[in-house]
Structure 1
């Protein structure tokens, strides 16, 4: 998949056909809407069914240097405002990215809770044109989740590892996964509901540390903690995600900063790829990269000190956790799960940043 180019005119026409209004600045007017009225599917759409699929991001004459991006949205009940913001800012994000001539291919995923939800994993194709918006509209905002204090965020990693095929790997380049949510990281993916959801044969739970070790060979990983309401889980999220992702890759922003955050992450990653292979340069890229990274630094991160000049989004970076350290930590979490009756015991003692 991945033919065509994003055009704002197409987005305006598509939105008008669905009875929506696009403002002059290119953002979607979501006033008067809730997540349930914006996302109108009432069950898993066949186009997003994860069972037995293999999603490909292919390169061609039109897109010779793809940057595959998986945007995985938490579609449980507390994330309604964030899901609406993604819909509202999609055109703005895509228009800004393509203004740099970046070869971005987007996959949209909906992530719920494997232990409780009917459709805990939804997965689109990789696309580069108005079909991104079409597939986003197919997402079933189930509004579920449960009482286990986390959602199945790493299902996005699992699907990327086992159910995608990227041509950029042939060039020695990785894809990019950005998960978004408002709860702590899940320590594992339960085998039975995961197998039922995706059609794979699994003998045991998928531990987060072991999964991360494998997926990082093929993807760069980011997580955005979305602040809204009471931010009840922020301390737990920082502590659990911080065991796997450093502060460059675990980021926080308010709901209205999501668009800038996404643009900044993708632009900075594209800049890194350009530096690795300048022969495959991106037209007008350098100035745009600096501008978009600065937007993240100044507009989207409420608690971030000044970013580095290299990317504009990294600050106070710890040494990145090795896969071996992650596996040890993951084993401790598994014991805590048994000894403390869930994740609550993991959050005692506050944040250790």
Structure 2
């Protein structure tokens, strides 16, 4: 996967096919798909160098697709994912981005708690995004299974970025709820078909994913009393790599995704924001105040 290149004309054609009136349920029509297998037993996703992407860099965008989050998938499909990709190609904080999307649910209650597209470099990024099934579940049990994205990234992705060049890709999850702090052995078996010796904590999974990826989370502030507690909980398990965006500023999500990747690649927040739309940059500037990435990110073997 990862062949081809992203073009404005392809995006215009795809965007026009959505029309001006379509909403989430009309864009994401899949009730099941090639991405909604009950178990990800044996599934691997690869980001490899090729003639179109001679120095591929994997980017994983994980979106919460539980009941309250349909608007996030709609925003990514109609606007933000395209804009973020354009920023990456225009300002080049990374080489040859290959993007994989994953739909995150709740492994304690959902039929399809994790869905994963392929790593792609062209309009298939968004075509495959719209092929995901928005199950709209979630268990009302104090969290969602963002930890599944870390497990998959760490154990089920293969990248030339890491294997050939000892460089990290980027993994950004987005949602409005807590993360379940433990991924149990039985959940690992059910979702991935793997036999684990013991339960895995969120911190252990982040540390494992961090060997190959710069890991971030974007909390969505809904203006509810519990949002502050949720944000604080995320900063405990992912300190210095958790940002927040107000739901009213969701149209600026592309700028925030781009800025996080740029900062991880060594640019200052001001340098990252100066390349973005300035009105959007002003609205997300406060989000980057929470980001603090250690300077030494060298990978050692």
TM-score for the superposition, normalised by structure 2:
0.85
- Spell out the pairing of 1:256-267 with structure 2 (5 A cutoff): 256-267=251-262
Matched, 1:222 2:216: yes
1:243 aligned counterpart, secondary structure? helix
Measure, in 2, the Cα distance between the counterparts of 1:160 and 1:296.
30
Counterpart in 2 of 1:187? Answer: 181
Counterpart in 1 of 2:156? Answer: 163
TM-score for the superposition, normalised by structure 1:
0.73
Matched, 1:36 2:25: yes
Equivalent residues of 2:274, 2:281 under 8 A apart: no
Equivalent residues of 2:273, 2:281 under 8 A apart: no
Matched, 1:3 2:7: no
Deviation at 1:271, TM superposition (A): 4.8
After superposing on structure 2, the runs of 4+ consecutive aligned residues of structure 1 that deviate more than 6 Å are 286-289, 293-296
Counterpart in 1 of 2:190? Answer: 196
Counterpart in 2 of 1:236? Answer: 229
Gapped regions of structure 1 (runs ≥ 5): 22-28, 276-285, 305-312, 321-353
Deviation at 1:204, TM superposition (A): 3.0
Q: Cα gap change, 1:219/1:61 in structure 2, threshold over 3 Å: closer, same or farther?
A: same
Matched, 1:93 2:77: no
**What CA deviation, in whole Å up to 9, does each residue of 1:206-227 have, x standing for no partner?**
2112222222111111000112
63, 67, 83: which one pairs with 2:57?
67
Measure, in 2, the Cα distance between the counterparts of 1:161 and 1:190.
16
Measure, in 2, the Cα distance between the counterparts of 1:57 and 1:287.
28
Gapped regions of structure 2 (runs ≥ 5): 296-301
Q: Which has the larger radius of gyration?
A: 1
Matched, 1:175 2:163: no
Equivalent residues of 1:178, 1:221 under 8 A apart: yes
Counterpart in 1 of 2:283? Answer: 299
Matched, 1:46 2:37: no
Measure, in 1, the Cα distance between the counterparts of 2:266 and 2:282.
19
Equivalent residues of 1:246, 1:319 under 8 A apart: no
- Spell out the pairing of 1:8-27 with structure 2 (5 A cutoff): 8-16=8-16, 19-21=17-19
252, 271, 279: which one pairs with 2:244?
252
Measure, in 1, the Cα distance between the counterparts of 2:237 and 2:280.
22
Deviation at 1:92, TM superposition (A): 2.1
**What CA deviation, in whole Å up to 9, does each residue of 1:31-59 have, x standing for no partner?**
452x322211112x114543311111001
Equivalent residues of 2:245, 2:284 under 8 A apart: yes
Measure, in 1, the Cα distance between the counterparts of 2:277 and 2:150.
25
Deviation at 1:238, TM superposition (A): 1.9
Q: Cα gap change, 1:209/1:315 in structure 2, threshold over 3 Å: closer, same or farther?
A: closer
Measure, in 2, the Cα distance between the counterparts of 1:204 and 1:143.
29
**What CA deviation, in whole Å up to 9, does each residue of 1:38-84 have, x standing for no partner?**
211112x1145433111110012321222211000000011111221
